[in-house]
Structure 1
Amino acid sequence: MSAASLKARNGWLLSFADVVTLLITFFIMMLALNHTEISRIQNWTDDQLDQSYLSLSQAVQSYNLQYINVNRNTQGIFLSISHPEAFERGGFEVSPGLAAELSQVSTLLSGIAVFNAHETELGQRIIQEADQDGMDWRVEVVVEGHTDNDPIPNGSILRNNWFLSTMRAQNVMQLLHRNSGLRNDYFSVAGFGEHRPVASNETLEGKGQNRRVNIVINAGFTRK
């Protein structure tokens, strides 16, 4: 086979290689653009949570709350209740002291950034763009109950620590919901009993830390 024939026969390889290179370049550009868009939305979401945390933490400080602490972590905004007098002793009824503080906090909830993200021009645009891509802006207020490992006495209406932790979380959630005026679908309850301790149950101090209710506020985009 002559050199000219060989060159003509293999010429298509050069064109094919060019097409593959262009396709690879195209997909890299699409991935880069997509990553940039995801980063923009994630940064905006984090900003809504940061603003909400700042509002709540300032309120906790200004009201000098004793039963409720607020932190910001990877889960979102984290309000913890572990005061020894937060609930009626051995039961699940919220104490008057905690009820007063929950009332103060809950009246602020409807005004924080995550529940009003659609009211800013940028928030409106991002939420509309996400909606076109099949995504919903979703805010969650999850109230989690926890106990120490002390067994529930026989014959008690509480039955077990799962029940106790769930009822405490339920009562906290109802106060938040009623006083905040927020929609029902924002709220949910979980009871973990003694199964997620944060300290050793071998000491009274550790047991006190394990008897707690956490309020986790998170927000982000989810598929419809």
Structure 2
Amino acid sequence: MPRKKKEEEVKQGAPEWMGTYGDMVTLLLCFFVLLFSMSSVDAQKFQAIIQSFNGSLGFLDGGKTLVEEQYIDKGLRNDKSIDQKQETENFNNLEKQIKDYLNNNGLDKDVSVMNESVGLLLRFQDNILFDSGKADLKSNSQKTLRYISTLLNKNEFKDKFIRIEGHTDNDPIRYNSKYPTNWELSVARSSNVVRFLVESTDIDPKRISASGYSEYHPVAPNDSPQNKAKNRRVDILILKTQFVKDEPTRLED
């Protein structure tokens, strides 16, 4: 009798090549996830990529939670580095210490402290630092500047750039051979503050600058004695790290 052919065995499940293919796709996915984790995310580009996938490959139908700004961009805006958070905390502490000192010494009405995005701004009305039409520092003002310098020489602020700006009102100076115009007076005042901080309080000269703006950067209209007094001032600005790159002096020399 002729032999019966052995029936071919039919294997159950997916073909064998599918296992290899699945492993390859998984490895590729892991590779791209690794690349993604090592890169910085641009929220707008990420949204554009997700939208391009939306519906085109038969999945991510709707995809609302992947493209809504509140889920992506908001998180990135709030994601500050540890250094930035520490710097913000340091500036908040500096603001508090200086305000406490001014309040305890009755100077809070003549010196303003403003914590701005670029740094901490100390605004001195000119009568606190100088006599009218002069640029020599008053002896009483030196005590305040010494206290501020001790704070700025601490480790958390020793690399911060300090900008000193002199300002005047629009009243022309009465005859004065030393300061013929407000330009010379504003520059002399800021320069003398810088000189005192460098020579008397050991502030590193590489991290400090002086500039004078005469009457051309007012903070109030020059239409009353009160407003003119506001414009006669010296501003001390302690810059945050991200704004130091715009300064002419390089701290890394």
TM-score normalised according to structure 1 size: 0.67
Alpha-carbon deviation of 1:60? 2.5
1:75 aligns with 2:105: no
Alpha-carbon deviation of 1:70? 2.3
Q: CA–CA distance in 1 between the matches of 2:87 and 2:80?
A: 10
Alpha-carbon spacing, 1:44–1:108, altered in 2? closer, same or farther (3 Å): closer
Amino acid at match of 1:72: N
Contact 1:81 1:213 in 2 (8 A): yes
Counterpart mapping for 1:127-166 below 5 A: 138-153=159-174, 156-166=177-187
2:130 maps to what in 1?
87
2:40 maps to what in 1?
31
Amino acid at match of 2:216: H
Any gaps of 5 or more consecutive residues in structure 1?
Answer: 1-18, 116-137
Alpha-carbon spacing, 1:203–1:55, altered in 2? closer, same or farther (3 Å): same
1:213 aligns with 2:222: no
1:183 aligns with 2:198: no
Contact 1:76 1:218 in 2 (8 A): yes
Alpha-carbon spacing, 1:30–1:75, altered in 2? closer, same or farther (3 Å): same
1:132 maps to what in 2?
none
Q: Which stretch of the first structure deviates more once superposed, 60-69 or 175-184?
A: 60-69
TM-score normalised according to structure 2 size: 0.61
Any gaps of 5 or more consecutive residues in structure 2?
Answer: 1-27, 43-75, 246-251
Kindly indicate which of the two structures has a greater share of residues assigned to helix. Answer: 1
Alpha-carbon deviation of 1:31? 1.7
Q: CA–CA distance in 1 between the matches of 2:118 and 2:232?
A: 20
Q: CA–CA distance in 1 between the matches of 2:155 and 2:194?
A: 17
1:58 aligns with 2:100: yes
The structure, 1 or 2, with the larger RCO (C-alpha pairs under 8 Å, 6+ apart) is 1
Alpha-carbon deviation of 1:29? 6.1
Cα RMSD for the two superposed structures: 3.4
Alpha-carbon deviation of 1:198? 0.5
Percentage of identical aligned residues: 26
Contact 2:126 2:234 in 1 (8 A): no
Q: CA–CA distance in 2 between the matches of 1:24 and 1:147?
A: 59
| Bigger-Rg structure (1/2) | 2
Contact 2:136 2:189 in 1 (8 A): yes
Alpha-carbon deviation of 1:63? 3.5
Alpha-carbon deviation of 1:69? 3.1
Alpha-carbon spacing, 1:68–1:112, altered in 2? closer, same or farther (3 Å): farther
Aligned residues: 185
Alpha-carbon deviation of 1:76? 1.1
Alpha-carbon spacing, 1:30–1:179, altered in 2? closer, same or farther (3 Å): same
